[in-house]
A and B are shown apart, each in its own frame.
Chain A
Amino acid sequence: MRADVVVVGAGPAGLAGATRLAEAGRQVLVLARGNGFTHWGAGAVDVLGRVGGEPVERPLEAIDRLPEGHPYHLVGQAAVRDGLDWFSGFADAAGLTHTGDPERNRPQVTAFGTLRPTCLLPEPAAKELRGRVAVVNFAGFRDFAPALCAQRLRRSGIDAVPASAPLPAWDHDRYFTGVELARAIDDPGFRRRLAPGLARAVAGAEVAVVPAVLGLDRGHEPWADLQSLVGTPLVEAATAPPSIPGLRLFAAYRARLDALGVRWQFGFPAVGVERDGDRVTAVRSEGASRLLATRCQELVLATGGAAGNGIEANRDGTLTERVAGLPVEGFDDRLGFMGGRFLGDHPLAAAGVRVDAELRPVDTAGEPLLANVCCVGGLLAGHDPTTEGSREGVALGTAARVAAVLAATPAR
């Protein structure tokens, strides 16, 4: 096989990068072992939620307070802005309008009733909580506990009360997952039967918080429709994986990439590269029964950090980059990987590949290693996407940067 650009990885960075490169006219192949952090995220666009554990109000300004070597410093504020602008346009066109201001963070309500600082929110999660708030579960859904959510919200001074809405008769009377419920809510008839019970559950409230299950394959339309049937604004709370807002986004990317003629190899991990001097000539990936080699001009690694599959943490404390064998700074022993508190910070999360301003990997002396490889997203050293709340911002900012870099090295 042959491609102009191979993008390895289909998480937030790989999807955005592949789309932007394809939009710029590159012929792209996406090689992915599986789903990435679209499915594991909170369903928002985090740019910079916390620095040093403290919530950030103005994410772009707060970039200055990040340590040296952070990906944001490499790509610059302009690329982050560009990434967010591009994303807003893309999401809007896909029927997944996001709202928010890159200059200012806003709170996203979670299933735990915490208010996580984020930047852009999909419309179904965007409404501010004020006045009386009903926290409503759909009866029988095991992944949402209104009492828990409302209790925490009250601690934040929000007048929240728990409630439960009955589900109409459907195919999954006995048990169901969030995905099944979201798919059911795609059906206008189901929504009409659901609305009266939900309306009773939220009666008297100015706004209702619900699990993020309001539709799967129809963008934000099921949410908007149900909201108008109920007559009360509905707010989707960040809910446990798989993230249904993330699934919606993934589907939108996939549709866009298909429309742009991008090819996919999904479910086949990349396991190595072929090289000629300082250039990668092909990517090796697992096929159904044999190793495949895909020849390429440019390789974009969007394989994620140690939480994804980009970096393997070895028993002896060393770290291995799994596709091109790029150097990654490890630890003296494996006790260095993690902090002493689970909810604290973990050094392993910030481990990654060091790159230059063009996102080309460099060695410990800062010298470029491979001339036609770029790294984006979670694979990059120097940031912890979870504790900083920077995952989507870094993904979009580095995708913007890689699009600009490769625009300067057109397809041959």
Chain B
Amino acid sequence: MTHLIETDVVVVGGGVTGVAVLRDLALRGVHAVLVERFDLGTGTSGRWHGLLHSGARYAVRDQESARECIEENTTLRRIAPHTIEDIGGLFVLLPGDDEAYADKFVEGCAASGIPTEELSAAAAHRREPLLAPDVRLAFAVPDGGIDSWSLLRSMAADAEARGCKVLVRHPIVGVERAGDRITAVRVHDAVAGEDRTIGCQWVVNAAGAWAGEVGRMAGVPLTMIAGKGVMVVMASRYVRGVVNACRKPADGDIIVPQHEVAILGTTSEQVPSPDDISVGLADVDRMIDMCAQMVPAIASGRVLRAFAGSRPLYKPETPAGDGGAGGDTREVSRTFTVLDHASRDGLDNMFSIVGGKLTTCRQMAEAVVDRLAERMGVTEPCRTATEVLPGADHGPHRVAEPLARVERDQAYGELICECELVTRGQVRQAVADGLTELEDLRRTLRLGYGPCQAAFCAWRAAGMVAEAQASEAQPEGAGEPHDGPAGRGSPSSAPDPVAGLERFLEERWRGQLSTIWGDQARQALLNHAIYRGIFDLQGDGVPDEAAAALDRPPGAEPGDGDPTRRVGEELVGDTEGRTSSRADGR
């Protein structure tokens, strides 16, 4: 085993926190390598409702979090406007809700620096016509929507442009220590199927809900609390902005419109493992019934899927007897903590950043990198709050933008995914950029997110991947109508796009099972009639092909090129239940 890479800092974890840490280090001129076990944003950062917090949700009980949120809300709008939908939010008071709580809410917001505006019932209904008629009053707050995939991509691109490195599908498997210091981090290259080490001076554990596992490998005790939250995806947006219940936070009290859908959230349940992301029918029903109190149309709406994420909660010095499962984790503060394992555990060169939330990821990174920089003797100040991210010149994301683009280009017939308005050109470009797994096309282009749940787009995209592979094998025919059937199409070594399609369909299926009834049951059976009925796919390729998908493109050596392009090891998404088999050693 060789030290494949030498670096100053290894950052463990490819969620928003780890990537924000990487970017912060990059901006201070520190060389760092980020290692992630799956792909960027496949943990909690990809399994949440997409709320850019104003902080108002914490204004009554957790004002430290509330202040962090409003500060970062403002900062993110400045540095990453392209990832944000500036839609605002309401806290609505329903009959039976406690007016005294509303008073405390307004006071808490004021004390935390969160602007609120009280709206009459009539004004609230003008702003959100689908609100329940019995909403008594509402408070407007600067909530927003934020796309974590887009934020992750921008931050990672910025860090990489400044010389840092991102290694996905490289789960950490251990560390090498010399006395009180970590000298290297051992990772498993899940694509090449071999272990390697990264020599380093420092380690930042940003593994979120999984930070305890990294701590264990490094030999330091670190107990995280996994706070599972279940979310439900509706087939349309219902609301213009975020809608919250103005009451003590509870199950099913928030609706976040995001792209073409709305996400209902959420539960808060302590579970033994952050890998427990199972979804119960009762959770789904409760989300719908509770959110329908605020927006009644949701009760009869079409539900696309349900998924769960694991909050990375940290409670310092857990009192005896409070480490079990099953409790409501809303009592745990949502603020974050930097742990310097030198003073805490006698491990000289590792920090952990725990707790927090997506909205505060940049601030979390600043806090830990400040401490690290001080120890390293790096004097460059933090610049992440002022340096805008690549793509920021685009301005805030608007939901109607894809439609405007299609209108402008008269591209209706170019649509590969009618639900999310993804065009043939976008898919072609992404495939040319090396994305040949449908799962990657989904995360990059939102292919297959919409109401029909990939009835048409997935096989069209699979066809485009096959065509691209065929024209690679036969470059003289690329892009032009061939005259005569001269070539043999794709080489036999290329991964089978049909197997890739079947795998994608099975992965997407898991997250749907708990939400299939009514129109969505019809949709599921119609999709089944297309794939199994018309195309006669029997799904028999799925188990065998998992290995075939790992085939590297011809000529590629292990460790060559951009690891994000060597995909297919695992498929993630809003899946239910399964996580353990994703990156098992091969």
Q: Give A residues with C-beta under 8 Å from B.
A: 37, 40-42, 53, 110-112, 114-116, 132, 134-136, 139, 142-148, 150-152, 154, 161-166, 172, 174-177, 197, 200-205, 238-241, 243, 305-309, 312-315, 333-335, 337-338, 340-344, 346, 348-349, 385-387, 389, 391
Residues of chain B contacted by A197 (CB below 8 angstroms) = 481
Q: Judge whether B133 is part of the interface by a CB distance below 8 angstroms.
A: no
Q: Are B469 and A147 in contact, CB atoms less than 8 angstroms apart?
A: yes
Q: Give which listed residue, A53, A164, A177, A243, contacts B482 with CB less than 8 A.
A: A164
Tell me which of B471, B505, B513 contacts A340 (CB under 8 A): B513
Q: What CA separation (Å) do A158 and B517 show in the bound complex?
A: 41
Q: How far is the CA of A177 from the CA of B525 in the complex (A)?
A: 23
Whether A202 lies near B536 (C-beta < 8 A) is no
Is the beta-carbon distance between B483 and A114 smaller than 8 angstroms? no
- B536 touching A148, Cβ below 8 Å: no
Q: Please measure, in the bound complex, the distance between the C-alpha atom of A53 and the C-alpha atom of B540, giving whole angstroms.
A: 11
For residue B471, which residues in chain A have a CB less than 8 angstroms away from its CB? 147
B245-264 interface (Cβ within 8 A of A): none
Q: B411-426: which residues lie under 8 A (CB-CB) from chain A?
A: 411-414, 416, 424
Most-contacted residue by chain B among A151, A164, A312, A348 (CB, 10 A): A151
Which residue on B lies nearest to A53, using beta carbons? B538
Q: Which residues of B contact A (CB under 8 A)?
A: 281, 285, 410-414, 416, 424, 456, 459-460, 462-464, 466-467, 469-471, 481-490, 496-498, 502, 505-506, 508-509, 512-514, 516-518, 521-522, 524-539, 542
The CA of A305 and the CA of B526, in the complex, are separated in Å by 11
Residues of A within 8 A of B486 (CB): 161
Q: Is B470 in contact with A147, judged by CB distance below 8 angstroms?
A: yes
Known: A148-B462, A201-B482. A344 touches B539 (CB 8 A): yes
Instruction: Give Cα A175 to B470, complex, Å.
Output: 23
- Assess whether B526 is in contact with A40, with CB atoms less than 8 Å apart: yes
Q: Is the CB of B506 within 8 A of A343?
A: yes
A315 contacts B285, C-beta separation under 8 Å: yes
- A387's nearest neighbour on chain B, judged by CB, is B532
Instruction: Specify which chain B residues have a CB less than 8 angstroms from the CB of A313 in the assembled complex.
Output: 516-518, 521
CA distance A315 to B516 in the complex (A): 8
- Chain A residues contacting B497 (CB-CB under 8 Å) are 148, 151
Are B534's CB and A145's CB within 8 A?
A: no
B484 touches A201 (CB 8 A): yes
With beta carbons under 8 angstroms apart, the residue of A162, A166, A341, A342 that contacts B485 is A162
The answer to whether A110 touches B463, judged by C-beta atoms less than 8 angstroms apart, is no
Question: In the complex, A74 Cα to B30 Cα: how many Å?
Answer: 77
A-B residue pair count with CB separations less than 8 angstroms? 204
In the complex, chain B residues whose CB is within 8 Å of the CB of A139: 481
Residues of chain B lying within 8 A (CB to CB) of residue A239: 534
CA distance A197 to B482 in the complex (A): 10
User: In the complex, are the beta carbons of A343 and B482 less than 8 A apart?
Assistant: no
B22 to A: closest C-beta gap in Å? 37
> Is A42's CB under 8 angstroms from B533's CB?
yes
21 contacts between A and B (CB under 8 A): A114-B535, A147-B463, A147-B466, A147-B489, A148-B462, A162-B482, A164-B481, A174-B410, A174-B413, A175-B411, A175-B412, A176-B413, A333-B281, A334-B517, A335-B514, A338-B516, A338-B524, A341-B509, A342-B539, A343-B542, A344-B539
Instruction: From A53, A241, A307, A343, name the one whose CB has the most chain B CB atoms within 10 angstroms.
Output: A343
Taking CB atoms, residues of chain B closer than 8 Å to A315 are 285, 517-518
By a CB distance below 8 angstroms, the chain B residues around A132 are 485
CB distance from B84 to the nearest CB of A (A): 32
Q: Is the CB of A40 within 8 A of B529?
A: yes
Residue from B411, B412, B526, B538 in contact with A343 in the complex, judged by beta carbons closer than 8 Å = B538
Q: Let me know if A145 and B464 touch, CB within 8 A.
A: yes
Alpha-carbon gap, A13 to B541, bound state (A): 34
The interface residues of chain A lying within 8 Å CB-to-CB of B537 are 112, 114, 343
Known interface pairs A134-B485, A197-B481, A386-B533; 19 further A-B residue pairs with C-beta atoms within 8 A, sorted by A's residue number: A145-B462, A145-B466, A148-B467, A150-B489, A151-B496, A152-B498, A201-B483, A202-B484, A238-B534, A307-B529, A335-B513, A335-B514, A337-B521, A341-B509, A342-B505, A343-B528, A343-B539, A346-B525, A386-B525
**How distant is the Cα of A101 from the Cα of B513 in the complex, in angstroms?**
40
User: Which residue of A has the minimal Cβ distance to B281?
Assistant: A333
Shortest distance from the beta carbon of B179 to any chain A beta carbon, whole Å:
50
Are A161 and B485 interface neighbours, CB within 8 A?
yes
Q: Is A314 in contact with B413, judged by CB distance below 8 angstroms? A: no
Q: Report whether A343 and B502 are in contact in the complex, using a CB–CB cutoff of 8 Å.
A: yes
- CB <8 Å contact, A145 and B467: yes
Whether B528 and A349, one on each chain, are in contact in the complex, defined by CB atoms closer than 8 angstroms, is: yes
Q: Say how far A169's CB is from chain B's closest CB, in angstroms.
A: 14
Please name all residues of chain B whose beta carbon is closer than 8 Å to the beta carbon of A385 when the two chains form the complex.
533
- CB of A385, distance to nearest CB on chain B (Å): 8
Contact of B528 among A116, A147, A200, A386 (CB under 8 A): A386
Contact residue among A41, A205, A338 (Cβ-Cβ distance under 8 Å from B534): A41
Please, which residues of chain A bring their CB within 8 A of the CB of B542? Answer: 343
Cα of A340 to Cα of B496 in the assembled complex, Å:
23
Nearest-Cβ distance from residue A334 to partner chain B, whole angstroms: 5
- Whether the Cβ atoms of A142 and B532 lie closer than 8 Å is no
Q: Taking A161-B489, A197-B481, A342-B505 as contacts, is the C-beta distance between A238 and B535 under 8 angstroms?
A: yes
Residue in chain A with minimal CB distance to B280: A335
Q: Which residue of B lies closest to A313 (CB)?
A: B521
**Contacts A142-B416, A240-B530 known; A147 to B496 CB distance under 8 Å?**
no
Interchain CB contact under 8 A, B536 and A114: yes
For B481, give its contact among A152, A201, A204, A338 (CB under 8 Å): A201
